[in-house]
Amino acid sequence: MAPRILLARHGQTEWSLSGRHTGRTDIPLLDEGRRGAKLLGERLHRAPLDGLPDAEVRTSPLRRASETCAIAGFGDRAQEWDALMEWDYGAYEGLTPPEIKQRQADWFIWRDGVPDGETLQQLSDRADEVIAWAHSADRDALIFAHGHILRALGARWLGLDVSFAARIRLDPTSLSVLGWAYGDPAIERWNDVGHLAG
């Protein structure tokens, strides 16, 4: 079986709820985020995934992702990896899009990037590093991380420019699967939050 990457976005936080760009600020989950992480874990442990016993698990070291991983029941198997940290938003850390547009009216993050932070190329390179790791062994990978780095992974898995990530949004505590179709990289599932209805 060709390896897949299962992507789990962290649960809801105060800043994700308010739309603030949360890069390297290490904030905890809200109660809603912890509930979502529990439901995600239950889904990952039910058939057909059955806890992904052969998958290698990695998580961003930032609290909101590692806490989601632990609550979902994978903390004891997970290895923290800095490559999975969220985009470093530099001067735009903690700001909402409307606040940023007051400074730069036509700003679009997937085109313009952020001042004093990580460039689009650096984000793309990190995504490529994660994909190369996923291809390095014949086993699935389960990743707990953040909205923008996971969207970058989706774009780069398809071989597209990282800017394509603008067109594949992700909700908190969503599950996505990067896999294969006709021998080529494909998105098997994206932004699936069906488990949150439980």
Q: One of 10, 21, 146, 148 is an active-site residue; which one?
A: 10
Judge whether 42 counts as a catalytic residue.
no
CB contact burial 131-143 (16+ within 10 A = b; e otherwise): bebbeeeeebbbb
Crossing angle for the helix pair 63-71 and 31-45, nearest 10 degrees? 50
Question: What tokens were used for 111?
Answer: 């085109």
Q: One of 56, 86, 93, 118 is an active-site residue; which one?
A: 86
**In the block, residue with structure tokens 């979902």:** 72
What does the DSSP assignment read for 144-197? EE-HHHHHHHHHHHTT--GGGGGGS---TT-EEEEEEETTEEEEEEEEE-GGGG
On whether the CB atoms of residues 170 and 5 are closer than 8 A, the answer is no
CA distances from 178 to 106, 124, 158, 188 (A): 32, 16, 9, 6
On whether the CB atoms of residues 195 and 68 are closer than 8 A, the answer is no
Judge whether 146 counts as a catalytic residue.
no
- Which residues have a catalytic role annotated? 10, 86
